Structure 1
């Protein structure tokens, strides 16, 4: 299974400006606890959610204060989507649930970035494990994962 060291190496190799932040066990278990640990707004915690479609897989990055709207994303992308199971998350990304970063996955996956992220200059997102976050500039995040900006949250 992949982890934080893999993301650190990916950041170096791809020259991505992101900073890994190590937390105490459990501090990044939820978006709320991560925001508390980082002393930032809930919206500045970027969630990376893997969805499984009838024909494709997508990773949706959205603000911690938003929820992915499965009906909206299914309508926009033209196929029905559901949340991935924990085993599907590991199979597709190489990371366990709670540790999935926005890039550097085991398999290539389409990245959708919800417009809600653009409210911030920077966000904290998963750094490859349940106990790490990555601080990254929003424009750098969009560039690094070649994500498509869409309105897919509620």
Structure 2
């Protein structure tokens, strides 16, 4: 198992007292469609973690201005809705370097839980329509399965629709 996928599984055990089975795929799971193909599920059952940077006109966004959005792979995040939800002037996709530095994971493999920093987190209600959803496990080729209720709870997420 890739060391980052193993690290994710270990963090889940240590932080949340849960054993998540991490499965790796040779073909990769970088996109929601690829992940869905790999596990044989609907694209909508893929729990994609998107890190967003909130901004205000009078200052540059910093690490405290990041939020995580766990969205269904079938939906697009509405950045204007995210900004409105968090009372910010604007919301943009966070810088990959900042994501790696603050969250501790690289884009393409950012898991919905086990971040280096606690981020406010929102959860797409579309995911609650499934018995099982699949999230990234630290690399672009590793996934884990979990119930949507357990995932929202582990992430400390608020279920709210912020999709287009």
Which residue does the alignment assign to 1:145?
155
Work out the CA distance in 2 between the residues paired with 1:62 and 1:96: 17
Tell whether 2:53 aligns with 1:44. Answer: no
CA drift at 1:146: 0.9
Work out the CA distance in 2 between the residues paired with 1:52 and 1:87: 12
Which residue does the alignment assign to 1:4?
5
CA drift at 1:145: 1.1
SS in 1 for 2:13: helix
SS in 1 for 2:110: coil
CA drift at 1:17: 4.8
With the length of structure 1 as denominator, give the TM-score of the two structures.
Answer: 0.93
Unaligned regions of 5+ residues in structure 2, if any? 56-60
Work out the CA distance in 2 between the residues paired with 1:77 and 1:86: 21
* Number of equivalenced pairs: 152
Maintained 8 Å contact 2:30/2:108: yes
Work out the CA distance in 1 between the residues paired with 2:20 and 2:148: 10
Which residue does the alignment assign to 2:106?
96
Work out the CA distance in 2 between the residues paired with 1:47 and 1:70: 15
- Aligned 1:37-116 pairs, distance under 5 A: 37-54=38-55, 56-79=65-88, 80-116=90-126
Tell whether 2:129 aligns with 1:119. Answer: yes
With the length of structure 2 as denominator, give the TM-score of the two structures.
Answer: 0.87
Deviation digits for residues 81-101 of structure 1 (CA, Å, limit 9, x no counterpart): 110121111012111111101
Unaligned regions of 5+ residues in structure 1, if any? none
Work out the CA distance in 2 between the residues paired with 1:17 and 1:117: 21
Which residue does the alignment assign to 1:21?
23
Work out the CA distance in 2 between the residues paired with 1:12 and 1:21: 16
After the TM superposition, which segments of 4 or more aligned residues of structure 1 sit over 4 Å from their partners? none
Which residue does the alignment assign to 1:32?
33
* Greater Cα offset, 113-122 or 40-49: 113-122
Maintained 8 Å contact 2:9/2:19: no
Deviation digits for residues 82-135 of structure 1 (CA, Å, limit 9, x no counterpart): 101211110121111111011111112111111111111110110011110011
